Amino acid sequence: MTDYQQLLDLDGTKRFERLGAILEAVGRLGSLNQATAALHISYRQAWGLLKQAEERLGAPLLTRRVGGAEGGGAALTDVAQDLLLRYHALRQGVEAILCAPAGPAPDPARPVLLASTIGPVETGLMDTLEAAFHRESGIWVRHIAAGTGQAMEIARSGRVDLMLTHAPDLEEAFLQEGYGAARHPLMVNAFLLVGPAADPAGVAGAATAAEGMARIAAARARFLSRGDRSGTHIKEEALWAAAGVTPAAPWYQVFERGAQGSGITLAEADRQGAYTLVDQATFAKVAPAGLRPLLQGDPALRNLFSLITLRPERFPAANHAGAAAFVRWATGPEGQAVIAASGHFRPVA
C-alpha cells in the first residue's frame, strides 16, 4: 500500500495542503498552467512540489497532453485522485484517515470515521449530532463531506467506518456488491425545483416535478446541474428520465464546482438566473435573493438519508462497534430528537 505518511514529511502538513490544492485545481481546470494561475503560485514551484511528491510515492500524479487538437492539458492519475480524497479528509479535520493502517483490528480509542453527503454538513447538523453523541457515549464521530457517489468510493477503499448518503438505488447497489452490511433510514427532507422569480419556463404551473423538468427543456431555459454523481445529481437524472428528456447544452450546464456541494451550486444558479434542483435545507441556508421554490410537494421529490454500515468480513479493520453504537443512537429517540430540532430535516416516521 502507498505510504502517504511520507507526504506529511514534505516539510510538514502545510506543503501537503499546498499539494492538495494544486491537484484540486488541476482536476477542476484540466491544466497545470491554469491551476497555478488560479492559485497565484509559480508553475516552477508547483511542478517541483509535484515531482517531489511523485518521487516519494513512486507513482505519477498527472498525465500530460501536449498540443494537438485539444490544446494540451493535464489530468489526475488514479493515485492523484486517491490522494485528493485524503486531502479533503485532512481539511475536514479527520487526520486519522490519511494513513489509516490495514491492520486486523481498529484502535478502540479512535473516532468513528463517517463519509457524509454534503447537505447535513453544510447545514451544521452533523456537527450537532456528533457533539450530542459524544456527550452521551464518550465516542467521537468525525465526518468527511463528499457527494454520495464520492462518499461511496471512499467507503469502498476501506478508509471509513460508516456512510451517510441519500441515493437509495446506489445504496442498494452498494449492499448488493458486498460492501455494505445494512441500510438504516435516518431522516428525510425534500428536494425543490427552484428558479428565477420570472419563471420563463412556467415551472410553477406544472403538476409534477417531471412535468416541470419537461417545461424547462421545452423552453430551453438555463438549468445548472451539479453533475457529480451526488444524491442530488442522481435525483435530477431520475427526474429528467421521468420527463422523457435528455438534457443538452447550451441550455443545460454542468457546474464545474458542483462536487463542492449544493450550496455553491445554488449560489451560482442565483448568479446566472438558472433553474436547479436543491434540497430544502440548503435552500434555506443559502437563501438566494433571485431564486424561488417553484415546484415542491411531489412525492417524487422526497429526499431520504440513510446510514450504511460496512461488512465486517470485507473491512475487518473498520471500527464496527463504534459505527453500530452511533447508528443505534442516531436512529433512536435521542438522535431523532436532535434531528427534529434542526428545523431542516425530519425524523424517519
Q: How far apart are CA 271 and CA 18, in angstroms?
A: 29
What mean pLDDT is predicted for residues 167-185? 96
Q: Which three cell numbers stand for residue 89?
A: 479528509
pLDDT exceeds 50 at position 100? no
Query: Is the dihedral angle over the CA atoms 128, 129, 130, 134 positive or is it negative?
Result: positive
Q: How far apart are CA 138 and CA 27, in angstroms?
A: 39
Contacts from 325-328 at CB under 8 Å and sequence distance 24+?
A: 325/112, 325/137, 325/139, 326/112, 326/114, 326/133, 326/137, 326/139, 326/141, 326/162, 327/162, 327/184
Q: Which three cell numbers stand for residue 228?
A: 457529480
Residue 170 to residues 4, 149, 152, 246: CA-CA distances in angstroms? 29, 8, 9, 21
Q: Which three cell numbers stand for residue 94?
A: 479527520
Mean pLDDT of the chain: 86
What mean pLDDT is predicted for residues 247-271? 92
What's the predicted TM-score (pTM) here?
0.71
Query: What does the pLDDT look like over 274-331, one tens digit per residue?
Result: 999 999 999 998 889 999 999 999 999 999 999 999 999 999 999 999 999 999 999 9
What mean pLDDT is predicted for residues 216-233? 95
Question: Which is more confident, 295 or 55?
Answer: 295
Closest CA to 215 of 303, 295, 290: 295
> Is residue 128 classed exposed, middle or buried when 0-12, 13-18 and 19+ CB atoms within 10 A define those classes?
middle
Q: How far apart are CA 261 and CA 255, in angstroms?
A: 10
CATH architecture of 4-90: Orthogonal Bundle (1.10)
What mean pLDDT is predicted for residues 244-257? 94
What mean pLDDT is predicted for residues 12-31? 78
CB 283 within 8 A of CB 264: no
The rounded percent of the chain whose pLDDT value lies above 90 is 57
Q: Name the band, by pLDDT with cuts 50, 70 and 90, for residue 69.
A: very low
DSSP reduced 3-state for 32: helix
C-alpha neighbours within 13 Å on the C-beta side of residue 26: 27
pLDDT score for 106: 47
The residue ranges of every structural domain in the chain are 4-90, 109-188+303-347, 191-301
Residue 188 to residues 215, 276, 303, 329: CA-CA distances in angstroms? 27, 20, 5, 17
> Is residue 346 classed exposed, middle or buried when 0-12, 13-18 and 19+ CB atoms within 10 A define those classes?
middle
What's the CA dihedral at 252, 256, 260, 265 to 10 degrees? -40
What mean pLDDT is predicted for residues 150-167? 92
Task: Fill in the DSSP letter of residue 7.
Answer: G
Domain at 191-301: CATH code: 3.40.190.10
Q: Do domains 4-90 and 191-301 have the same CATH topology?
A: no
What mean pLDDT is predicted for residues 29-50? 86
What mean pLDDT is predicted for residues 171-182? 96
Output the DSSP codes for 62-128: EEEE-STTTT-EEEE-HHHHHHHHHHHHHHTT-GGGTT----SS--TTSPEEEEE-HHHHHTTHHHH
Domain at 109-188+303-347: CATH code: 3.40.190.10
pLDDT score for 214: 98
Secondary structure in 3-state letters for 338-349:
HHHHHCCCEECC
